[in-house]
Amino acid sequence: MADKPIPTLYEWAGNNLEIFERLIETFYDKTLEDPLLEPFFRDMPKEHRYNVALWFAEIFGGPTLYSSEHGGHAHMVKAHMHLPIEEKHRQRWMQLMNEAADEVKLPDDPEFRSAFVAYIEWGTRMGYVFAKPGAKPPADDSPMPIWGWGVVKPYIPE
């Protein structure tokens, strides 16, 4: 079997920003109907959704627009510092994000979804850590995390 290049998660998801825009639109619509998360999302400006789509695209190996337009990882963390996030909020966030991923038809192969769930698990836990009183923000030049396939690479038939 010839070595085939391994695509980024962004490429595997469709290689365009639109799928991440649909993911975030669907997710945010769900949060506004959810009694547990609605208070966190009710006053978000409309452009916030697009910015989060840029974040997800970059995290999964797409264009670096979030970093170039908003300052990268440190900016994202600082925006979430000291929010009143509890474990129940983190878990519900993950549940709604997984539902949104299904609804917009992100790839549902085990390898992609494993990587996707690993990222949202890590990301929500990081948000939870930085929301706690006394948490210190990362340095302004902290690197942007770029998520990969993890242990299992995608199955690419010959």
Residue 79: pLDDT band by 50, 70, 90 thresholds? confident
Residue 116 lies in a domain: yes
**Residue 158 domain flag:** no
* One-letter amino acid of 54: L
Is 147 among the domain residues? no
Q: What is the total count of domains within the chain?
A: 1
Q: How confident is the model at residue 1 (pLDDT cuts 50, 70, 90)?
A: very low
CATH of the domain at 90: 1.10.490.10
Q: Is residue 3 part of a domain?
A: no
Which tens digits make up the pLDDT trace of 16-38?
999 999 999 999 999 999 999 99
Residue 4 lies in a domain: no
- Residues whose CB is less than 8 angstroms from the CB of residue 97 and which lie 6 or more positions away in sequence, other chains included: 23, 27, 120
- Distance, in Å, from the CA atom of 149 to the CA atom of 9, rounded to the nearest integer, reads 7
Q: How confident is the model at residue 72 (pLDDT cuts 50, 70, 90)?
A: confident
Spatial separation of the C-alpha atoms in residues 121 and 135, rounded to whole Å? 19
Asked if residue 76 is part of any domain, the answer here is yes
Residue 115, pLDDT above cutoff 80: yes
Can you give the pLDDT at residue 158? 65
Instruction: State both tokens at 71.
Output: 């300052």
pLDDT digit string, tens, across residues 28-65: 999 999 999 999 999 999 899 999 999 999 999 999 99
Domain span including residue 125: 10-131
Q: Answer yes or no: is 68 within a domain.
A: yes
Threshold 0.85, pTM exceeds = yes
Does a structural domain hold residue 137?
Answer: no
